[in-house]
Structure 1
């Protein structure tokens, strides 16, 4: 025997309409279905209407409107109105004509008007009443009062769907003699899933009389006619019996849609049959959405305040973590704020170095059992964590969030909420009863017959964690990781700066000891000459003094520039056109004396002016020419040649020697500091000169290239760019 579940009932394919309405359905071939009561307004039987064109039907129903299928298509194509509605008169009675498209078909509905029609001029006052009477986060209570006034029902409730799809009455307006249902709970199966989906799609439903006559629809089988958007559709037998059991003769409902989801219903009940016509339903639907807007506005205000508090905490926490390296101390200080924002009873932190608790938390024994139960789970959250039965209720904390902050040292953060005992009043005991249909051999759900108050106390649950609260805890973890990563990056950057600083200091020291040797040698030789030759001619004496003065000036300039470059990445250099001829000749003379090379042959070709800074130009040539002379000094006939030429806007200087040469195939990093080739061991030096050349060339916007053959000689080529042609 198969069990038919409530959610399996195809309530949108019922194939019947209520007594107060009429329905005709059209496709491109004409009328394909008509309710059997249509003869009352068209004077034709339903069977005779099949195949009739829409134009003919509209002339019979509403001759004064001059409607045609073409004008209907135009009206239904309007993006503002998906349903065309007009008030018409048929045989002396007032009706609403409603036309809409659905499921690739055109539906024509006619339903009776109530004698007391809705006054649209009252709309402004209804809206003002909602605004002035709202006392909670929304205007649910004044909404029930307005809808009760508009439709005249005995009871109007706002019924909110909870997370488990059960419902609760949160606002109510009723006749004085009725018992209040405010706060009552209703089980999920009272409004099954397919009914909730219909409420989400079509926002106004009602039945005028649970025992009223219903009419079949001819032309198509019920399974082929989707009545999801049909205002006059009959209710399912199960729902009608449910209403009878609740002693309700008429009902209406208006969907509360919040952000595209079914949030709840305005549920209306009347103990006597009562029709709510289309104008009343439209007004109630409008006011319901108006109240939703108030709810959303208040919710957004409240949420904005909460989000600002959360953002302030996250900002402050991040700032502290970046400044202070003691993560434990920072988190301990921020625990009370986190606990407050989480609406928690206690916070517990555990890591390899120890523990810290704020507020009320479980015992160590219970915490240990929690860890065993959760294992290595990175993130866990629940409002109904099951505690071992051996622990007393005073230690019951079913609200639990645990997150692993830092896996490296087993750092966990726990948030606790204590149990909240909830006494719930249900409209009847929430149990589903199945009836046996022996004829069809199926088991079908039976609507509840009892709605007497049934109280239930809920144990073992805490307040549910809100999404924003769980996001806060996860964000705290990310903030900690970001702060640690940023601090690590800062340390890495500081190390890089330290290395650069140390390198600059090294370069400063090496440059001074390396490049100052040449001018110091010139000064030394000049002083020695003055000491030895007491009767030196005036002209030679003057020359020696000039050499000393020039050497001291050069040393001063070199020290100033090197010191400046060691302190900053960028130094403002004054560039000017320079002819390096005199500097080159002075360098050669000094190097002759320094390395004791009397047999050096030096050839100087053309010297074109270059754009640069005087001291740096001197140091560049000092290192290149000095190396050329040094590494040629042990040759039988040492020879060094310097020449220059122009090419476009560049000036090239070539420094050639016939010295020991280099094997560049085995070592191409000759410009790195302290890099010395094997064949240079017999010569003084520490591998600094070419490193200085590379740095100076970069600052002068020049490039240096080299060609060399072992035991044959070396040629350096320096290109100075941005030179005026």
Structure 2
């Protein structure tokens, strides 16, 4: 495989491998040429390869356009840059030309043209047919198998492998197509150290890589002052000597690789090996990169379809369980009744519910061991949902649960419940291409050497269970939320039942209280009506004069109190009333008592204001007093005039205005009514201001709606 794809012993200094500057080798492979130029003047300042024999003996210092026989500036201006900023420059003297930017330099890379290259129409037809074949595959494995066949047909290499990176960054050959004479690496694993980090980064940046022959003399960059130029985007850059030796150890004569990049990450490689030297032209590599892009999209589609099917199955199980969780039955009993469904839902070997008692199904450890596991889970910060396939790595006492090593757990502290799905140890026979753990004497100063043996080596892996899928862990989180909601609802039902019992007793007491209140109200209303009638009779008996006026004022004040009492009895809201409705009814009563002439001259504009009941009584008394004063002092008794009443709200205060168009203020009238009104205004924290209404008097009461 390419760039040390499958080599280097696992216990060498792997950080040294990661630091190897493979992107600045200072040389190129001999099948191509490299020209390094100043991007402003296009003057060639350095190069590598047989430039003298292929282009010109006096190449250094000449114009790049002159050497290549093309207008480089025009090519760069018109062309659309490809991956990595590469610009294809066409064919020059039997070479494919590509331009790259590298720091302060412009690089021109020349590779031999393939004389047997397919035509564009033939290539597009083949790509379309192959892509359709990819779409028709039903599974990811079948897709990879078809991809191995397609890439071998495209490249002509003896052995083509689809190599996937696993979660631990180790490699795994998932599919292979090969010549009968070539060794098979199908289903073999390769350690993560076989491909260093910087090599993986280059695989994402450069999607294709070819080594036409492993036996070659690197062609250094000349002059040597330029041998540190970054050649990351150059396909012909020289290969690490360690990797070349690695390929020789495998018996490989040539290799190539095509990256499979999924969502910007390196999913795997198409790894190609040939027993003899073999070159892949830039045209073939371009087709391979396009085909790898289609393969990546199909891999994404297959993985998403598989994930969707699993998620749908889990959702179906959840939907089946959901209605029973929200019945009146206790949560623990519902789960115990459905425990076998819960076990199958997660594909577990055993399932346990640990609450007031322990309920199990399938294969489970003894109750005392399950309680030990629950106690350990309760001490963890991630105890809400916990999952592992290697319990021994997480819990020192995991041997007590043997043979169970896989645990998926949901902990519900409020309900004092723990749900456990258990999987038994799954012994794996992992086949490696050579022993990845073979001891090598470690010397930090030693020269790195490649792995020399690729004979199949089988490793028995113990202590692991089948992996919990991401969809199963997500389902566990959803299930925990459902169970918590069901538990809270159950607790709410129990509290409501207690409240209902209390409410029944309270309703009975309230009914008795309501009966008494109605009786009291009836008697109070009768008493107030009796007193009002008595005052009216006394006023008539006294005849016109001061005594009758005072009796009439007393009756008005009494009406204000009685009106609030009637509203309290009629409305459901006792604490507050609408002051505008109260004043409107008070004015209706005053119109009746003052007579038709005065009643027609009273006009009101009242905004709705919610006010505490006791304060409404006080405002009503003040309003009645101000209106009475206006009828007494603003006009003569025989000539009623207009009186306007306005109620407004400004933020947390009310404003009551009683305005007339009469004589205006005539001295200070300090009688019983005025003294009473002053006391009431002071009680509610308000103030009354008298203003000139031009003509007449404007009395303005301002007071807080709520008591401070």
Could you tell me how far 1:313 is from its partner in structure 2? Answer: 5.5
- Of the three residues 30, 37, 41, the one matched with 2:50 is 37
Counterpart of 2:220 in structure 1 is 216
Pairing 1:79-118 to 2, within 5 Å after superposition: 82-90=85-93, 94-118=94-118
TM-score w.r.t. the length of structure 1 is: 0.69
Q: Which of 598, 617, 620 is the aligned partner of 1:624?
A: 617
2:473 aligned residue: 470
User: For the structure 1 residues 321 and 527, does the alpha-carbon distance in structure 2 shift closer, same or farther, using more than 3 Å as the test?
Assistant: farther
Task: Report the counterpart of residue 461 of structure 2 in structure 1.
Answer: 458
Deviation at 1:179, TM superposition (A): 3.6
- CA–CA distance in structure 2, aligned partners of residues 587 and 310 of structure 1: 79
- Please show how residues 177-192 of structure 1 align to structure 2 within 5 Å: 177-192=181-196
Is the contact between residue 166 and residue 188 of structure 1 (CA under 8 Å) also seen in structure 2?
yes
Instruction: Quote the offset at 1:87 in angstroms.
Output: 3.9
1:400 equivalenced with 2:404 (yes/no): no
CA distance in 1, matches of 2:469, 2:106: 45
Residue equivalent to 1:143: 147
Backbone CA RMSD of aligned residues = 5.2
Provide the C-alpha distance between the structure 2 equivalents of 1:514 and 1:718, rounded to a whole number of angstroms: 34
The number of equivalent residue pairs is: 604
CA contact (8 A) 2:647 2:657 kept: no
Residue 425 of structure 1 corresponds to 431
Equivalent residues in 2 for 1:158-169, closer than 5 Å: 158-169=162-173
Query: Structure 2 length normalisation: TM-score?
Result: 0.71
For 1:83-118, what per-residue CA distance to the aligned partner results, in whole angstroms no more than 9, with x for missing partners? 22244141xxx3211112233432210001223213
SS of corresponding position for 1:442: coil
The answer to whether the 8 A contact 2:604-2:646 is kept is: no
Structure 1, residues 209-239: CA drift from partner, whole Å, max 9, x if none? 0012321112355762212211001211111
* Partner SS for 1:362: coil
Q: CA–CA distance in 2 between the matches of 1:362 and 1:430?
A: 35
Q: Which residue number in structure 2 is paired with residue 690 of structure 1?
A: none
**Equivalent in 149, 153, 156 of residue 152 of structure 1:** 156
The residue aligned with 2:602 is: 608
1:558 positional shift: 9.9
Question: Residue 60 of structure 1 aligns with which residue?
Answer: 67
| CA deviation string 1:422-461 (max 9, x = no partner) | 1222112223665899xxx931332122111112222110
Which structure 2 residues correspond to residues 549-628 of structure 1 after superposition, within 5 A?
Answer: 565=572, 580=586, 583-584=589-590, 608-610=602-604, 624=617
Q: Distance in 1 between matches of 2:404 and 2:681?
A: 75
- More moved, 369-378 vs 576-585: 576-585
Match of 1:277 in 2: 281
- CA deviation map 1:527-547 (0-9, x unaligned): 99xxxxxxxxxxxxxxxxxxx
Greater relative contact order: 1 or 2 (C-alpha under 8 angstroms, separation 6 or more)?
2
1:339 touches 1:415 (CA, 8 Å); kept in 2?
A: yes
**CA–CA distance in 2 between the matches of 1:466 and 1:508?**
64
Q: Is the 8 A contact 1:145 1:173 kept in 2?
A: yes
1:307 maps to 2:305: no
The residue that corresponds to 1:75 in the other structure is 79
Mapped partners of 1:284, 1:489: distance in 2: 63
Question: Which segment is superposed worse, 362-371 or 476-485?
Answer: 476-485
Which residue does the alignment assign to 1:18?
29
Tell me whether 1:248 sits opposite 2:249 in the alignment: no
Deviations 1:273-295 (A, max 9, x none): 10111111111111111011111
Equivalent pair of 1:83/1:99 in contact (CA under 8 Å): yes
Aligned to 2:661: none
Alignment of 1:414-563 (within 5 A): 414-431=420-437, 434=440, 442-482=445-485, 512-513=518-519, 515-521=521-527
Larger mean Cα displacement after TM superposition, 446-455 or 117-126: 117-126
- Equivalent pair of 2:369/2:400 in contact (CA under 8 Å): no
1:546 is aligned to none
Residue in structure 2 matched with residue 193 of structure 1 by the alignment? 197
What do residues 552-586 of structure 1 show as CA deviations (whole Å, max 9, x unaligned)? xxx9x99999677479x999x99899674562488
Question: Secondary structure in 2 aligned to 1:116?
Answer: coil
Question: How many angstroms does 1:334 deviate by?
Answer: 5.5
Is the alpha carbon distance of 1:527 and 1:350 closer, same or farther for their aligned partners in structure 2, counting shifts above 3 Å?
Answer: same
Deviation at residue 169 of structure 1 after TM alignment? 0.8
Cα deviation, 1:572-616, whole Å, max 9, x if unaligned, reads x9989967456248899xxxxxxxxxxxxxxx9998344789xx9
Which of 222, 226, 229 is equivalent to 1:225?
Answer: 229
- In structure 1, the residue corresponding to 2:124 is in which secondary structure? helix
Q: Distance in 2 between matches of 1:321 and 1:570?
A: 45
- CA 252–626 in structure 1, closer or farther in 2 if over 3 Å, else same: closer
Do the aligned partners of 1:435 and 1:446 also contact (CA within 8 Å) in 2? no
Matched, 1:357 2:329: no
C-alpha distance in 1, partners of 2:619/2:513?
A: 18
Q: Deviations over 1:480-522 (max 9, x none)?
A: 44556678899999989x89x9799899768745654454347
d(CA) in 2 for partners of 1:184, 1:507: 87
8 Å CA contact retained: 2:36, 2:108: yes
Shift of the 230–653 alpha-carbon distance from structure 1 to 2, 3 Å rule, reads closer
Q: Can you list the C-alpha shifts for 1:287-346, whole angstroms capped at 9, x where unaligned?
A: 111011111112222323333444555667666655647332344456545444433222
1:7 aligns with: 18
In structure 2, relative to structure 1, the CA distance for the partners of 1:330 and 1:707 (3 Å cut) is farther
Segments of 5+ residues of structure 1 without an aligned counterpart are: 529-554, 589-603, 630-638, 669-703, 709-714
Q: Could you tell me whether the CA contact under 8 Å between 2:75 and 2:89 is conserved in 1?
A: no
- Aligned equivalent of 1:601: none
- The CA distance in 2 between the partners of 1:366 and 1:268, in whole Å, is 52
Aligned to 1:34, the other structure's residue is in SS state strand
1:386-441, CA deviations, whole angstroms, 9 ceiling, x for partnerless residues? 28899699x411111334322x464333221111121222112223665899xxx9
Query: Which of 619, 623, 646 is residue 644 of structure 2 equivalent to?
Result: 646
How far does the alpha carbon of each residue in 1:642-686 deviate from its partner, in whole angstroms, 9 at most, with x for none? 567536676948896866998999xx9xxxxxxxxxxxxxxxxxx
TM-aligned CA distance change 1:144 to 1:326, over 3 Å: same
- Shift of residue 478, structure 1, vs aligned partner: 3.5
